[in-house]
Amino acid sequence: MTGTKRVVVVTGASGGIGAALARRLGGRGDRLVLAARRADALARVAEEAGTDALPVVTDVTRRDEVERLRDEAVRAFGRVDVWVNNAGRGISRPVMELTDDDFDEMMRVNVKSALYGMQAVVPHFEKNGSGHLVNVSSFLGRVPLAAHRSAYNAAKAALNALTANLRVDLRARHPGIHVSLVMPGVVSTEFAAHALGADGPAPSPAGAMRPQTAEEVAVRIEDLLDHPRAEIYTNPAGPEIARRYFEDVEAFEVEAAREAALAASAPDRSL
């Protein structure tokens, strides 16, 4: 859809990757419907994104609000061309310390919200014969190398599977509908500050990634919208680290554990 004005819905748009993507797409003339719970922050992003940006305060963990978001987009612009499920939340708690509430919250925010988005917009795409669904996951859903993210990693792995299943379901019947998975690595945003539990130091597994900015990730997603693909790693190091992980999971984990132990025993050089 290069060169056309798309109608794009972005959830989790009040900050981080969602806000950066909104500003980029608004700058090129796309018409935007931006969703998040924080009304003031969402309104600021909509203003920065341009005159064709509609903020819709939405709790994406509620199915009825996600359906209302779709309806508001269609009411305002007549259709939806792209839907980006970007809302998410992290956790910093090892597996053995997880509570029922921890696990339920990770699944509710990271998986069920995206499922609601998929089930809300795909029938609209089917009716129109085209559309692009983008689910923003995490590299940790593919390579769970940060053990303290525990249930977050599990939720993103579930999102990866749902995305692939939907893509297979639609491929034969609706070739004009694209379903894409985006897997950012380490991103410099306020994400960690909003995670459940006290955040620990970033892991240092074999082949650690250079952190990206939200803008760098947004550039990759923008390119994905212009050139749809099944999956992308936004960090250039992602494919090689994933290859090494699946080539020999045990060896990778042994090295990651060794490096984590070395990092934990190193003197604090932050002062």
Q: What is the pLDDT of residue 194?
A: 53
CA–CA separation, 133 and 118 (whole Å): 7
pLDDT at 260 over 80: no
- Label residues 168-200 b or e (16+ Cβ within 10 Å = b): eebeeebeebbbbbbbbbbbebebeeebbbebe
Tell me what percent of the residues of the chain surpass a pLDDT of 90.
79
The architecture in CATH of the region 7-265 reads 3-Layer(aba) Sandwich (3.40)
Residue position matching structure tokens 């909003």? 194
Q: What is the pLDDT of residue 262?
A: 76
Q: Which residues pair with 11 in a beta bridge?
A: 35
pLDDT digits (tens, 9 = 90+) for 60-73: 999 999 999 999 99
Coil, helix or strand at residue 132: strand
pLDDT digits (tens, 9 = 90+) for 128-142: 999 999 999 999 999
Q: Where are the beta strands (DSSP E) in 164-266?
A: 177-183, 187-188, 212-213, 231-233
CA–CA separation, 224 and 9 (whole Å): 15
Alpha helices per DSSP H over 174-248: 214-226, 238-247
Residue-range domain boundaries for the chain = 7-265
pLDDT at 239 over 70: yes
124-127 long-range contacts (CB < 8 A, ≥24 apart) are 124/70, 124/74, 124/79, 124/80, 125/80, 125/174, 125/177, 126/174, 126/177
List 116, 152, 233, 245, catalytic entry: 152
Tell me what percent of the residues of the chain surpass a pLDDT of 70.
88
Specify the pTM: 0.91
Can 116 be counted among the known catalytic residues? no
Q: Which residues contact 239 (CB under 8 A, 6 or more apart)?
A: 233
pLDDT digits (tens, 9 = 90+) for 21-55: 999 999 999 999 999 999 999 999 999 999 899 99
